[in-house]
């Protein structure tokens, strides 16, 4: 539990904000020096997501997606804009959202909103999104704030909409990273938080073909 490793909640958030302000607004910056894995990541995410977008009575729509912890828009540009009519982006670092406007190019015209906000304070507009994508950012929320945020995301979904989390998973327990002021949780802890938010897991998948030295990465779909 984050309560065991986060001693001061205010400091936990302010240190993370300060850390990201000093990170270059590039794909390599977004991926902590692992920019070369971006295509592997995007291709796996596309396959994962498309199983919910296929034809069928409970098919997830493709009208609008929300990119949480969006940074400069790496996921918006390569995963969400090719699949959805419009996308909204939310990130705590204003410089990243400013950079996104040039990085996204012409297709960026279909980004409706750039929300500069920490996820602990962000509320998705109710009944608005077919997909809410949350990648490599849950470690910047305490357990309580993550659970509450997921509850707010649940109300932000359109019929048959899904929430997707893709993130690092610890082998056991909760590990604090003092450098960027984040935590890495194990699979059981993440599943418990998802259940606590009143969400039902639809799919879970481990990312393949990532470098051996980094954490295992898992993708979850839920509603």
Give the tens place of pLDDT for each residue, 184-211. 999 999 999 999 999 999 999 999 999 9
Is residue 120 part of an annotated ligand binding site? yes
Residue 93 annotated as lining a ligand binding site: yes
All structural domains of the chain with their residue ranges: 2-222
For the structural domain made of 2-222, what CATH number should be given? 3.40.50.150
Q: Is 131 marked within a binding site?
A: no
Is 207 assigned a ligand-binding role in the annotation?
A: no
Residue 56's pLDDT band, with cuts at 50, 70 and 90, is: confident
How remote is the C-alpha of 151 from its chain's centroid?
15
Annotation-wise, does 135 bind a ligand?
A: yes
Contacts of 83 (CB under 8 A, 6+ apart): 46, 49, 50, 53, 62, 65
Question: Which pLDDT score, from 0 to 100, does residue 2 have?
Answer: 83
Please indicate if the annotation marks 46 as binding a ligand: no
Q: Rounded to the nearest 5°, which phi and psi values hold at 67?
A: -105, 110
**Percentage of the residues of the chain whose pLDDT score is greater than 70:** 100
**Predicted local distance difference test score (pLDDT) of residue 18:** 97
Is residue 190 annotated as involved in ligand binding?
A: no
């Amino acid at each position: 539990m984050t309560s065991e490793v986060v001693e001061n909640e205010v400091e936990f958030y302010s240190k993370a904000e300060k850390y990201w302000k000093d990170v270059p607004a590039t794909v390599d910056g977004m991926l902590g020096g692992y920019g070369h894995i971006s295509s592997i990541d995007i291709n796996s995410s596309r396959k994962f997501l498309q199983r919910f977008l296929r034809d069928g009575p409970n098919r997830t729509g493709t009208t609008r997606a929300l990119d949480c912890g969006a940074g400069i828009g790496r996921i918006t540009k390569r995963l969400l804009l090719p699949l959805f009519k419009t996308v909204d982006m939310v990130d705590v670092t204003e410089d990243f959202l400013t950079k996104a406007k040039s990085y996204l190019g012409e297709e960026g015209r279909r980004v409706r909103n750039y929300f500069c906000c920490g996820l602990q304070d962000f509320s998705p507009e109710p009944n608005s999104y077919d997909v809410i994508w949350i990648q490599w950012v849950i470690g910047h929320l305490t357990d309580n704030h993550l659970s509450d945020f997921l509850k707010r995301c649940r109300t932000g979904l359109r019929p048959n909409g899904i929430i997707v989390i893709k993130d690092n998973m610890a082998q056991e327990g909760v590990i604090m990273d003092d450098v960027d002021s984040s935590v890495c949780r194990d699979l059981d802890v993440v599943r418990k938080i998802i259940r606590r938010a009143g969400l039902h897991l639809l799919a879970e998948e481990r990312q393949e073909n990532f470098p051996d030295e980094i954490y295992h990465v898992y993708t979850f779909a839920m509603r």
